[in-house]
Structure 1
Amino acid sequence: MALVTFLSDFGDKDYYVPAVKAKMLSINPQLNIIDISHSINPHDVAHAAFILRSSFREFPKGTVHLVGINTVGTMTQGYIGVKLEEHIFVGPNNGILSMLADQDPGILVQFADIHVKDSTFPTRDILAPIAAKVASGAAIHDFGGPLANFRKLMSRQAKATREHIIGHVIRIDRYGNLLTNIRREVFEKLNPGKFNIQFGRETVDKLQNGYDQVEAGDPFAFFNSLDILEIGINHGDAGKLLGLKQDSVVYIHFGG
């Protein structure tokens, strides 16, 4: 199955998304194009990387992922293809594709000049044709050679000691729940059995299994399907109610 996912910050009010899809379908009308999201905050590389990292493994191996975020400007150093965990990514060399896993990709390709044209719309004119052809059976090596300079960005990491973990809010979802960079494996390794989690003016001293384990209006904390700490207020917008936002600090204190 020729499967392509598409992630961008184009929104749904302009011609950009249908134009990119039309370009791919003109090359192979049998392509199955799946939208991951087009509501990424404009130019927000970290937001895009989080969404893609959290979702790409749910697709079949061999899926081609087209990334149309921040494809023009000084941050982007050309256009590349990446093979990671049997998935293929086609996008700009601006750091997004370096944030999808803890390890480096197995294959990195710099697209050759013959496939790169001057364009104010490189997602349609450069990346979409390559994504369509790769999904149809071509290899990313057919479009270039080894990438010498893979632009890397580092996401903020939680700091951990035997006494505490200091993490940060990395996303606030549409319900106002706060997703953090505190990972389950780190917590479980350090947890002596007694702890408290502090976020804003709220403190909880136990983990729940889901959103509805506390009364409406009460705070909760649990490790979600991504194995990261999620905190919030049941039936409430924790971001607004507690004055928390992206990059706000979350503390876990161990012991008495």
Structure 2
Amino acid sequence: MPVITLTTDLGLDDYYLALVKAKILSQLPDAQIIDISHSINPFDIAEAAFVLKTILKEFPKDTIHIVAVGTQAVDDIRHIGIRYKDRYILTADTGLFSLIADQHADLIVELQMNIESDVLIFPARDLYAPAAVFLANGGTLEVIGRRTDKLVERISVKPTTGHDYIKGAVIYVDKYGNAISNIDNTLIKEIGKGREFHIGFVQKGYEMTEIKKRYSDVPLGDRLALMNSAGHLEIAINQGHAANLLGLHTGATVIMTF
């Protein structure tokens, strides 16, 4: 039985998430549902894309990823199913796929399943959940949607580079206040070529000149830079909240000079 994952901005305080899970389990009692995150900032497509891109390849083939962020039911938003790298994505056509894709999708359809009510009010429950069940039972996207090649596109924020610098930005702040940038290890090797470097950001006087391997490599309360498990440069404070204390909220500049 394929895994079904949930990435949403529904939070855990209300009953909305329970309704989505109830819909899946009522139709597929032995479903294996994995919660990725329900703390995505409301309507933050870029944040949802980062999370999905980070975890996508870690799940087995045929996993069904429901992404319900910015999926409110309005007339001008289509709802889509995507077959990508042997996995499924069910979400709204908000530009999310353009932020995660590094190759073309195998198949994209506009979902056209029958729903129980006359008006689509809650897409995650009324559309994505039954679509996920259908796919988990061996169904195919062609049966529940109409093929399409036109999707909303968003421009991802990418670092700018020169001979002696990489200028990036914070793209995600996790629960612990760690500020994750869009500067990855591959880019550092390509531009840095093993040279010494300085890492700077909003707060002056807090530059760093080395990348640590783990948080405990510095004393409690000290700042550090490290490559996180996704291969991105991260600014952190050992058992502290770097985003708040260093002003490193989403969009803040992070620059490496060589």
Alignment TM-score, normalising by the size of structure 1: 0.92
Deviations 1:16-43 (A, max 9, x none): 1111111112222121111111111111
Listed one character per residue, the Cα deviations across residues 47-85 of structure 1 (whole Å, up to 9, x for unaligned) are 111111111221111101112122125696311110111
- TM-score (norm. length: structure 2): 0.92
How many aligned residue pairs are there? 254
- Identify unmatched segments of 5+ residues in structure 2: none
State yes or no: 1:186 paired with 2:198: no
TM superposition shift of 1:102:
2.1
The residue matched to 2:4 in structure 1 has which SS?
strand
For residues 38-187 of structure 1, the aligned pairs below 5 Å read: 38-72=38-72, 77-112=77-112, 114=114, 118-187=119-188
Partners of 1:165 and 1:2 lie apart in 2 by: 41
- Give yes or no for the alignment of 1:11 onto 2:11: yes
Q: Which amino acid aligns with 2:138?
A: G
| Matched residue, 1:240 | 244
- Deviation of the 1:114 alpha carbon: 4.7
Matches of 2:115 and 2:150, distance apart in 1: 18
CA distance in 1, matches of 2:176, 2:252: 17
CA distance in 2 between partners of 1:106 and 1:161 (Å): 35
Residue 236 of structure 1 and its aligned partner are, at CA, apart by 2.1
Q: Residues of 2 paired with 1:245 and 1:238: CA distance? A: 9
Counterpart code for 2:70: N
Deviation at 1:2, TM superposition (A): 3.0
Structure 1 segments unaligned to the other structure (5+ residues): none
1:212 partnered with 2:213: no
For the 8 Å contact 1:20–1:124, the answer to whether it is kept is: yes
Counterpart amino acid of residue 8 in structure 1: T
RMSD: 1.9
Report the secondary structure of 1:222's partner residue.
strand
Percent identity over paired residues = 35
Any conservation in 2 of the 1:76–1:92 contact (CA below 8 Å)? no
Name the amino acid aligned to 1:174: K
244-253 or 109-118, which moves further after superposition?
109-118
